[in-house]
Structure 1
Amino acid sequence: MPYDDSGWRNFGRLGANRSAENVRGGQALGAAMESALSRLIREGGIRSPVTTNRGLNARLNYLNSVAGRQAMADAGITARPRTMDKWFAGTQQPMASNKEKIDTAYWNLRAERVLNNLGAFKQHLNNRGRGTSIEIHPVNQDLVDEKARRPNLLGEQAHRMLPNVRYIWDDAVDAMRQGDSDKLEEIWDDVIADMDSDWGAYTYVSYVGIGA
């Protein structure tokens, strides 16, 4: 079925808006980038559990700074500076409850640092100029009036994979950070414009995933 612009300008007139998962593509792209950023924070962090000596020492080494001590205080650690100095030196073990707070402090500080310097995330998505793949699921039509359902958007064949999407990521990350929904929609229009004549049917989607 060719692209029918009027149908998507009047999104929801026939029931597509009854499904909460159906959103504009820019909104879905922003959510996908937030998920990818969360993965980057987690997967790039310390893998060893805080309950192991290796994991504990690695976290304490990361937290051994003014910012790290503040993160520990924010996580609820009330130990005296002298006690924490012993933790950092490896001459005294924190109690189990404080190990959990050390873990919280570590992840909070790592997330803060990544969020305050998104250059690494941009590099991650740009992938040395190769770009990143985007997976797109069309709108969920389960609640659309049956006579108005689009057969070209039904089934697995309607899921689209765009490999090596390039050139958008610096602007997209900035728009995500700034909460600029209009810019994200503009970027999304650029993404789907490279699809075939059905591109307008993906103005609204049920899911966007990023292969990063």
Structure 2
Amino acid sequence: MSTDGWRQFGLYGADDTPDNVHGKNALGRALEDALERRIIEGGIKSPATTRRGLAARMRYLTNSPVGYAAMTAAGITAARKTIGRWKKGTQRPNPANLEKLDTAYWALRAHKVLNNLGAFKQHLYNHGAGTVVEIHPVNQAPVLPSRRRDLQMRTLTVRYVWDSAVDAMKEGDVDALKDIWDDIIAEMDSDWGAYTYVSHIGLGA
């Protein structure tokens, strides 16, 4: 596929599969996926149905007013004294309330992570070492055989864009994400234009 064909994305059929998107969109998705992993992987590992998992959730949820608000939002109507007994382990919540406590915990965990994106930025910055970006080229299956190019998955270590990238993801600023993606692929060789559109982006974070 000619360089002009990549600039005129879809001219030879590359837009016939939903996998292929502009890098700005794939970068936004990759950031959202990395943030979701951070929420889950940094959370309590033990299930709410175990003694340890329940105790950890109760400590987390009863540590601040926002925790009680999260329980209320999850549909828990138990009195404070009952919740206190759950925390002490002298009374066990019924299965329905266990599920609601788990919902409340993860909602509060996500809320706290999303409201401290500075920590996520530092995670991506990685003390200056940056984050590996795995770039999967467009799926060329729908492209005319004579117009296909030999493209491979590429990896780049990206260091200095993460503050702006996370802010753009939060704001849904696709124009900013486009500029950031252009900066990232500019580090490639002369084939950089072939990675304006991709099938997937993964972040090693």
**Counterpart residue number, 1:181:** 174
Length-normalised TM-score, structure 1: 0.92
Letter in 1 for 2:94: M
Residue 131 of structure 1 deviates from its aligned partner by 0.3
Residue 160 (str. 1) matches residue 138 (str. 2): no
SS at match of 1:198: helix
**Counterpart residue number, 2:109:** 110
Residue 88 of structure 1 deviates from its aligned partner by 2.4
C-alpha separation in 1, matches of 2:146 and 2:6: 16
Contact conserved, 2:7 with 2:193, CA < 8 A, in 1? no
- How many pairs align? 204
C-alpha separation in 1, matches of 2:44 and 2:82: 23
SS at match of 2:190: coil
Residue 204 (str. 1) matches residue 197 (str. 2): yes
Runs of 4+ in structure 1 deviating by more than 6 angstroms, as ranges, are none
C-alpha separation in 1, matches of 2:140 and 2:5: 14
SS at match of 1:206: strand
2:38 paired residue among 31, 37, 40: 40
Unaligned runs of 5+ in 1: none
**Counterpart residue number, 1:27:** 25
Residue 169 (str. 1) matches residue 186 (str. 2): no
The CA deviation string for residues 90-114 of structure 1, in whole angstroms up to 9 with x for no partner, is: 3221112211111110000000111
- Give identity over the alignment, percent: 61
Length-normalised TM-score, structure 2: 0.96
Bigger shift: residues 6-15 or 105-114:
6-15
RMSD between aligned residues: 1.3
SS at match of 1:55: helix
Unaligned runs of 5+ in 2: none
Letter in 1 for 2:140: Q
1:24-173 to 2 correspondence within 5 Å? 24-64=22-62, 65-150=64-149, 152-153=150-151, 158-162=152-156, 164-173=157-166
Contact conserved, 2:46 with 2:52, CA < 8 A, in 1? yes
